[in-house]
């Protein structure tokens, strides 16, 4: 396995790499992210999932290092996190390496070699032979109906009652929000 770091070790490695970059001009952007910031980047989808876990400890690799350094470089250039999020899906591995200065192994790709020798994959059953779905329709408010479609796999009335009971908190919250929205619309 390639070089991996815990979150705190990743932050230290990022600090080492960022030390070579110019300091950010925007006073709101920290030059070096802390652990909380790196977790936030992961939460908003700017970091890939950890490469592994050891107990409750996540392990990060060079791609994560490249991602954090690239984020900080983009912020140094005045980009907001929202702009970075919009840009992120368009970056390929080579561009990420150039932006961060961190070389890493590209994501493993599924090998196409000898794909015809693999066991065939069973195709899904054609729709015509599938059982018709059961639809539960619940009117939350005038002109607001929640429809849940379930495959008919032998649900009896007890099953449907249990599903309705499980959905009750969601329905109550949706109804409450509908009333709140109506109240806001009526206030001058």
Contact indicator for 163, 136 with CB cutoff of 8 Å: yes
In this structure, are 93 and 169 located in the same domain?
no
Q: Is the pLDDT of residue 169 over 80?
A: no
> For residue 113, is it within any domain?
no
Residue at 182 is within a domain: yes
Q: For the chain, what is the domain count?
A: 2
pLDDT for position 125: 55
The answer to the question of residue 166 being in a domain is: yes
Asked whether residue 117 is domain-assigned, the answer is no
Q: Are 12 and 96 within one domain?
A: yes
- Looking at the chain, the whole-number percentage of residues with pLDDT higher than 90 is 32
Average pLDDT over residues 141-154: 66
**By C-alpha distance, which of 29, 27, 23, 13 is closest to 75?**
29
Q: Determine, yes or no, domain membership for 1.
A: no
Q: Tell me, what's the pLDDT at 109?
A: 46
101-110: per-residue pLDDT in tens? 898 876 554 4
- The pLDDT of residue 78 is above 90: no
Strand partners for 133: 151
Q: How do strand 133-141 and strand 144-151 relate by DSSP bridges? A: antiparallel
Q: Same structural domain for residues 19 and 90?
A: yes
Domain that holds residue 139: 131-186
CA distance 176 to 156: 30
Q: 151: pLDDT confidence band, cut at 50, 70 and 90?
A: low
pLDDT, residue 91, reads 85
Q: Tokens 């954090």 map to which residue?
A: 68
**Same-domain status, 48 and 90:** yes
């Amino acid at each position: 396995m390639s070089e991996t770091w815990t979150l705190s070790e990743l932050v230290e490695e990022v600090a080492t790499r960022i030390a070579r970059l110019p300091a950010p001009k925007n006073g709101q952007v920290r030059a070096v992210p802390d652990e909380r910031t790196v977790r936030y980047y992961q939460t908003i989808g700017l970091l890939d999932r950890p490469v592994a876990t050891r107990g409750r400890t996540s392990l990060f690799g060079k791609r994560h290092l490249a991602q954090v350094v690239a984020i900080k470089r983009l912020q140094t250039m005045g980009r907001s996190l929202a702009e970075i999020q919009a840009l992120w899906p368009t970056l390929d591995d080579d561009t990420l390496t150039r932006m961060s200065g961190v070389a890493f192994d590209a994501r493993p790709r599924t090998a196409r070699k000898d794909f015809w020798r693999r066991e065939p994959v069973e195709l899904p059953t054609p729709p015509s032979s599938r059982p018709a779905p059961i639809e539960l329709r619940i009117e939350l408010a005038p002109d607001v109906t929640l429809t849940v479609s379930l495959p008919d796999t032998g649900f009896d009335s007890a099953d449907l009652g249990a599903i309705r009971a499980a959905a009750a908190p969601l329905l109550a919250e949706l109804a409450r929000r509908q009333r709140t929205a109506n109240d806001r619309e009526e206030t001058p």
